[in-house]
């Protein structure tokens, strides 16, 4: 790729991602049947997953995006969260599903979940394509998980290093 990073090793293939998104979409369709589903994608990493997932959910739904920033060093989150872009829509009374690319420390999502619950939704649940439980600093679990991944610097399918490799159709890690 002509880059200083080697991301050639495939951890999760494009086909594995597609198959798992199909399964998650089918499960969410069953779980939220008859409810007022509202997806909230966390920018920027969730975009490929959210785009694929929403097309696999066979229900009427609403969607929006939020952008949040965690303060701390480049590789470690402190849990101090700043909302860069908030929702454009009201979620009161709706069943909210936060769509995330990866849960690592859990600090940002714990804050975000509490923040959104204060707005009076019917429910707030989490879905993540990747879960890295070895990095957890708070007790937070995703209601839906695509894959559990090892404690490596994961890239692809929305995840980046220096804003690059989000467009890889598979999950790799930086060697």
Structure tokens that stand for 160 in this block: 């980046």
Catalytic residue among 104, 131, 143, 160: 104
d(CA 151, CA 21): 22
Q: Is 104 a catalytic residue?
A: yes
Residue whose token pair is 């200083």: 4
* Cα separation of the two ends of the chain: 14
CA distance 66 to 167: 20
**C-beta of residue 42 within 8 angstroms of C-beta of residue 101:** yes
Bond from prior residue into 44 cis (ω within 30 degrees of 0): yes
12-23 as b/e: b if 16+ CB within 10 A: beeeebeebbee
Residues catalogued as catalytic: 104
């Amino acid at each position: 790729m002509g880059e200083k990073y080697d991301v050639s090793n495939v951890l999760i293939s494009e086909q594995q991602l597609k198959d798992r998104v199909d399964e998650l979409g089918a499960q969410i369709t069953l779980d939220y049947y008859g409810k007022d589903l509202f997806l909230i994608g966390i920018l920027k990493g969730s975009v490929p997953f959210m785009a694929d997932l929403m097309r696999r959910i066979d229900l009427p739904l609403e969607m929006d995006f939020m952008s949040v920033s965690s303060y701390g060093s480049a590789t470690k989150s402190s849990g101090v969260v700043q909302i860069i872009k908030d929702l454009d829509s009201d979620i009161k009374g709706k069943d909210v599903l936060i769509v995330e690319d990866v849960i690592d420390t859990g600090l940002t999502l714990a804050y975000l979940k509490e923040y959104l619950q204060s707005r009076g939704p019917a429910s707030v649940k989490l879905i993540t394509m990747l879960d890295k439980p070895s990095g957890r600093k708070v007790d937070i679990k995703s209601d839906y998980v695509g894959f559990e991944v090892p404690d490596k610097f994961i890239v692809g399918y929305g995840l980046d290093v220096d804003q690059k490799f989000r467009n890889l159709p598979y999950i790799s890690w930086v060697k």
